[in-house]
């Protein structure tokens, strides 16, 4: 199978590329390197530097002879989506539509979309949230992900494009960027390894569902060869609050520096947790890496990175 992975130089996309290549498929990575890193791209992959909104990207999809597209590229900064919703929609919706139109023209058979569990559902009615939970995004980023799924529904119905939207929980692990707007695990791990204090906003009781990036990559690989159409949660169904998370990272890094608390951030969800059972039923997938083990692997990665610097 010939597979195009957009955002394949990024944190999650590069792990997905590793898994798809290990399964014996041919991989082309498309990335504009705005946040991804060239060194993350597997050496066995063909790399094309281009923006998903560009005609160059569309031409690649139309003429590349791809069997499938795994669409990981996105504007992922929730706060940026709030301050500049037009840019968020430009990348996440118009960029995706550019790929979808080209995919139909190029005869692509399968389209996987990196969606978002927490951002799509918004404040939940039940915990963990199943796929049938109402989508009530509270940010432009979440709205763009939910809208992306609606567009996929149209292309599936009208253009007969097979698709699956993988609604990720909070993904963490090696290669995550600890700078700027990034996952809390990467930020806390980076600080703990430097014996710096981590900042917890609010009381630290806000919860998230943390899923290891290797498990996410495996879910993509299973969905790639499945004929299931629709959304699937990719999470653990386990809530972990920020205080617990910091304690786990402190253990993994050996840090004894206590966290400092700051005022809560406006608009932050209090709880987020998604139910992964349907992915087990239709893909045979379940999370295999515990939070403790995943935090240890993440700490080892950043520790080795610091030694090599």
Task: List CB contacts of 249: < 8 A, sequence separation 6 or more.
Answer: 185, 188, 189, 192, 198, 255, 295, 299
Cα separation, 261 vs 264, whole angstroms: 9
CA distance 114 to 175: 17
**Edge to edge, what strands does the sheet with 2-6 contain?**
46-49, 26-31, 2-6, 68-71, 110-116, 162-168, 230-234
Measured between alpha carbons, how far is 41 from 48 in angstroms, rounded to an integer?
10
| Residue pointed to by tokens 């996309």 | 13
Among 87, 121, 127, 141, which one carries the catalytic annotation? 141
Residue given tokens 């920020």 in the structure block: 242
CA 256 – CA 236 distance, rounded (Å) = 28
Active-site annotation holds for 210: no
Spatial CA neighbour of 236 closest among 267, 275, 205 = 275
Q: Enumerate the active-site residues.
A: 141
């Amino acid at each position: 199978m010939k597979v195009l992975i957009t955002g394949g130089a990024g944190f999650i996309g590069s792990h997905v590329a590793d898994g798809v290549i290990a399964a014996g498929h041919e991989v082309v990575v498309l990335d504009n390197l705005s946040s991804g890193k060239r060194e993350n791209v597997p050496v066995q992959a063909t790399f094309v530097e281009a923006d998903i909104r560009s005609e160059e990207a569309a031409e690649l999809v139309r003429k590349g002879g791809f069997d499938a597209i795994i669409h990981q590229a996105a504007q992922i900064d929730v706060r940026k989506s709030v301050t500049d919703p037009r840019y968020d929609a430009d990348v996440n919706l118009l960029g995706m539509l550019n790929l979808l139109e080209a995919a139909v023209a190029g005869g692509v058979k399968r389209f996987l979309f990196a969606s978002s569990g927490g951002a799509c559902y918004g404040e939940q009615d039940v915990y963990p949230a199943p796929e049938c939970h109402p989508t009530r995004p509270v940010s432009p980023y979440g709205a763009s992900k939910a809208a992306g799924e609606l567009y996929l529904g149209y292309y599936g119905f009208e253009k007969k494009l097979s698709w699956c939207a993988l609604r990720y929980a909070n993904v963490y692990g090696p290669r995550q960027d600890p700078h700027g707007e990034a996952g809390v695990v990467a930020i806390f791990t980076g600080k703990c390894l430097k014996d710096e204090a981590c900042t917890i906003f609010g009381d630290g009781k806000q919860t998230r569902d943390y899923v290891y990036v290797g498990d996410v990559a495996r879910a993509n690989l299973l969905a790639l060869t499945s004929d299931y159409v629709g959304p699937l949660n990719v999470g653990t169904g386990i809530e972990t609050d920020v205080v617990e998370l910091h304690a786990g990272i402190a253990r993994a890094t050996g840090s004894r520096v206590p966290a400092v608390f700051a005022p809560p951030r406006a608009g932050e969800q209090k709880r987020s947790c998604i139910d992964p059972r349907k992915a087990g039923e239709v893909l045979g997938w379940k999370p295999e890496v515990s939070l403790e083990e995943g935090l240890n692997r993440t700490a080892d990665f950043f520790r080795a990175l610091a030694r090599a610097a």
